[in-house]
Amino acid sequence: MSESGRLIQRYYDAFNRGDWAAMLECLDAEVAHDLNQGPRETGRDAFRQFLERMDRSYVERLADIVILPSADGCRVAAEYTVHGEYRATDEGLPPATGQRYVLPGGAFFEVAEGRITRVTNYYNLQEWLRQVGAEV
């Protein structure tokens, strides 16, 4: 696997361990984070706050991870299956009651100088809402 592919694997291994410090170490200080169907957040501190919010509301593990680096290593795509539990209500979303969900997801990365400079995440929000019992 390429260097950028190994970087993304370390990022996801850290995610699955719940090791937020190791995830943040993979990121450039000015990382651009495109939230699924949401705004772009910039910087490692904003990403840390995102992880803290996620940690309060969700327990997730990614499986079946496939990492696809570009030939030059500057971009990487990843596809996976999210296995999660919605444990505390996240602002603007339906009430959490410990609902479990399984859905496909993916991400696109830009990499420079051994760090992730952009993360763009995607999953089907309507399917997630259906699985947690929201009226869609």
For 63-94, the pLDDT digits (tens) are 999 999 999 999 999 999 999 999 999 988 99
Structural domain including 12 reads: 3-131
Instruction: Indicate the number of domains in the chain.
Output: 1
- Classify residue 18: in a domain, yes or no: yes
| Closest among 79, 74, 63 to 109, alpha carbons compared | 74
- Classify residue 48: in a domain, yes or no: yes
> What is the spatial order of strands in the sheet that 115-123 belongs to?
40-42, 27-34, 115-123, 99-112, 75-86, 58-69
- Classify residue 136: in a domain, yes or no: no
**Residue 38: strand, helix, or coil:** coil
CATH of the domain at 68: 3.10.450.50
What pLDDT does 136 receive?
Answer: 59
Cβ atoms of residues 110 and 124 within 8 Å: no
Burial (Cβ within 10 Å: 0-12, 13-18, ≥19) of residue 61: middle
Cα(125)–Cα(6) distance, integer angstroms: 28
Instruction: Give tens-digit pLDDT for 106-115.
Output: 999 999 999 9
- Classify residue 117: in a domain, yes or no: yes
User: Hey, which bits of the chain come out as E strands?
Assistant: 27-34, 40-42, 58-69, 75-86, 99-112, 115-123
- Classify residue 52: in a domain, yes or no: yes
**Average pLDDT estimate for 91-99:** 93
pLDDT band at 134 (very low <50, low <70, confident <90, very high): confident
- Classify residue 120: in a domain, yes or no: yes
The mean pLDDT value of the chain amounts to 95
Instruction: Give tens-digit pLDDT for 36-64.
Output: 888 899 999 999 999 999 999 999 999 99
